[in-house]
């Protein structure tokens, strides 16, 4: 199937062709026909599956076809609400890309910056608004935004919205929307809280689900390194120095942890930047811009900040700290292996993180291949060691190796000589 087979109009098809896309992803193939019929949609899909285009293309097509009916000053007829600034900008860019031949006007608003430029754009009138919840409500309260003309509403990354505490903001926004509208609801996971929220937003929706396990297994090679807590920094430096990549995205669980890794790498003359919620908007955009352009090859990120990172040829993702939520692992490694490119994801696992690892492997229904030989291998604490083997020559991971039994090597006596 091609995009042309989905009955997409020529102005949008032209933009799609210019981006080099011909074949829709599974979620696009399933969602676009439903949305072109103006049905509500409940979608379960992670970022990296083509989800944004799946809802952007039908909305652009509806608005373009209805342009004669909506002459006069532009009013907000499509609203997309998403949790982070980075993701809002990414969605805005997608609407601008696919809609560049439609004559429709898009805008994006988010907090962390002065509102002047955003309110000036709103005064001129927009057709499509992409927003984060806090800034949207703020400008609504100030009278800059009215939602009374919205015909299409999208709640994207709903699970992350709830994780970030936006539930009350979302309910306030929904209360201001017209009852007659097409509603789209996307979430990477569907726990009971998300199902309950979707029922308050959607009427009788069609349902589309792209299983994250499939997306994970198909394009991303996954490797696992068992390592002690003290060995993690040394292993990270070792990999970055011996396995140089064009771009490496490293995940930590906390903002403090991200800054700590950046500082540690700096001492080893490895240039890296961090992106997380405590950074100013300008600092985050600058770090992201440097990473996308290749000026910075190593970016450290927390999960929330990384939702908007969309780089097709990202070489490597490293889970410096294994996430305690299995679905988060899928989001992380989904940063690589995007579009038609393959990817590599490496996870560091210390003893206390093994329960998290078991949950992840259960979710993805596969065992992650262990790199059995590296300079900082951890060993089972309850394993009886008779004698320590002699230090072996450092070996980098070999992608062609077959999965094998987890092996642990005692290297206490040789740690200093190996880590120099």
Cα–Cα distance for residue pair 308/306, rounded to 1 Å: 5
- Return all residues near 45 (Cβ < 8 A) that are at least 6 apart: 27, 51, 54, 186, 188, 208, 209, 210
Give pTM, 2 decimals: 0.62
Neighbour tally for 97: CB within 10 Å: 15
Cα–Cα distance for residue pair 140/154, rounded to 1 Å: 17
pLDDT at position 323 is 87
Judge contact between 95 and 134, C-beta under 8 A: no
pLDDT at position 394 is 39
User: Do 217 and 189 belong to one domain?
Assistant: no
Q: Domain of 163: which CATH number?
A: 3.40.50.300
Q: Give the CA count within 13 Å in the CB-facing half-sphere of 205.
A: 22
pLDDT tens digits, residue range 133-168?
A: 999 999 999 999 999 999 999 999 888 888 778 989
User: Do 199 and 239 belong to one domain?
Assistant: no
Lowest mean pLDDT, pick from 176-185, 289-298, 311-320, 337-346? 337-346
User: Do 168 and 206 belong to one domain?
Assistant: yes
> In total, how many domains does the chain have?
2
Quote the domain boundaries for residue 30.
Answer: 3-210
pLDDT at position 395 is 41
- Return all residues near 244 (Cβ < 8 A) that are at least 6 apart: none
pLDDT at position 308 is 57
pLDDT at position 388 is 35
Cα angle vertex 309, ends 57, 356, to 5°?
A: 115
User: Do 151 and 195 belong to one domain?
Assistant: yes
pLDDT at position 413 is 36
- Does residue 233 surpass a pLDDT of 90? yes
User: Do 181 and 288 belong to one domain?
Assistant: no
Per-residue tokens: 200: 């308050």
User: Do 193 and 223 belong to one domain?
Assistant: no
The closest of 376, 322, 378 to 348, measured between CA atoms, is: 322
pLDDT at position 373 is 84
DSSP 59-97: HHHHHHHTTTTT-SS----EEEE-S-HHHHHHHHHHHHH
Among 184, 210, 236, where does a domain finish? 210
User: Do 224 and 203 belong to one domain?
Assistant: no
Cα–Cα distance for residue pair 268/237, rounded to 1 Å: 8
Among 210, 239, 270, where does a domain finish? 210
78, β-bridge pairs: 128, 152
pLDDT tens digits, residue range 176-202?
A: 999 999 999 998 778 788 888 888 888
pLDDT at position 392 is 42
pLDDT tens digits, residue range 23-50?
A: 898 899 999 999 999 999 999 877 667 8
User: Do 386 and 400 belong to one domain?
Assistant: yes
Cβ burial of 136 (10 Å; 0-12, 13-18, 19+) is: buried
Cα–Cα distance for residue pair 259/300, rounded to 1 Å: 8
pLDDT tens digits, residue range 3-16?
A: 989 999 999 999 99
User: Do 366 and 348 belong to one domain?
Assistant: yes
- Does residue 386 surpass a pLDDT of 70? no
Per-residue tokens: 345: 């994801």
Cα–Cα distance for residue pair 110/320, rounded to 1 Å: 29
Q: Give the CA count within 13 Å in the CB-facing half-sphere of 317.
A: 33
User: Do 45 and 103 belong to one domain?
Assistant: yes
Among 210, 225, 241, where does a domain finish? 210
User: Do 242 and 386 belong to one domain?
Assistant: yes
User: Do 203 and 235 belong to one domain?
Assistant: no
- Does residue 269 surpass a pLDDT of 80? yes
């Amino acid at each position: 199937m091609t995009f042309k087979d989905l009955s997409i109009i020529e102005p949008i098809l032209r933009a799609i062709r210019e981006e080099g896309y011909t074949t829709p992803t599974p979620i696009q193939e399933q969602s676009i026909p439903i949305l072109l019929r103006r049905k509500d949609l409940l979608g379960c899909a992670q970022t990296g599956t083509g989800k944004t285009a799946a809802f952007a293309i039908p909305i652009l097509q509806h608005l373009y076809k209805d342009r004669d009916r909506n002459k006069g000053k532009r009013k907000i007829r499509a609203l997309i609400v998403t949790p982070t600034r980075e993701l809002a900008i990414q969605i805005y860019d997608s609407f601008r890309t696919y809609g560049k031949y439609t004559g429709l006007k898009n805008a994006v608003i988010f907090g962390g910056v002065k509102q002047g430029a955003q309110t000036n754009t709103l005064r001129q009138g927009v057709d499509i608004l992409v927003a984060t919840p806090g800034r949207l409500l703020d400008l609504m309260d100030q009278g800059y935004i009215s939602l009374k003309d919205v015909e299409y509403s999208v709640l994207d990354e709903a699970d992350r919205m709830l994780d970030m505490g936006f539930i009350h903001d979302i309910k306030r926004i929904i209360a201001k929307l017209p009852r007659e509208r097409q509603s789209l609801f996307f979430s990477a996971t569907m726990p009971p809280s998300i199902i309950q929220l979707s029922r308050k937003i959607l009427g009788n929706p069609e349902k589309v689900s792209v299983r994250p396990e499939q997306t994970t297994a198909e394009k991303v090679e996954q490797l696992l390194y068992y390592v002690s807590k003290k060995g993690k920094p040394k292993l990270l430096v070792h990999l970055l120095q011996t396995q140089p990549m064009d771009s490496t995205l490293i995940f930590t669980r906390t903002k403090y942890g991200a800054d700590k890794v950046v500082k540690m790498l700096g001492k080893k003359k490895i240039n890296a930047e961090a992106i997380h919620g405590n950074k100013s908007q300008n600092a985050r955009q600058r770090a992201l811009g440097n990473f996308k352009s290749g000026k910075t090859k190593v970016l450290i990120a927390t999960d929330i900040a990384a939702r908007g990172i969309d780089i097709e040829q990202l070489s490597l993702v490293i889970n410096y700290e294994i996430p305690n939520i299995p679905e988060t692992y899928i989001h992380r490694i989904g940063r690589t292996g995007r579009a038609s490119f393959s990817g590599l994801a490496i996870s560091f696992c210390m003893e206390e993180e093994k329960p998290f690892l078991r949950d992840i492997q259960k979710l993805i229904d596969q065992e992650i291949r262990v790199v059995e030989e590296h300079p900082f291998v951890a060993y089972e604490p309850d394993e009886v060691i008779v004698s320590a083997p002699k230090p072996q020559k450092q070996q980098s991971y070999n992608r062609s190796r077959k999965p094998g039994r987890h092996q642990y090597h005692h290297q206490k006596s040789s740690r200093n000589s190996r880590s120099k």
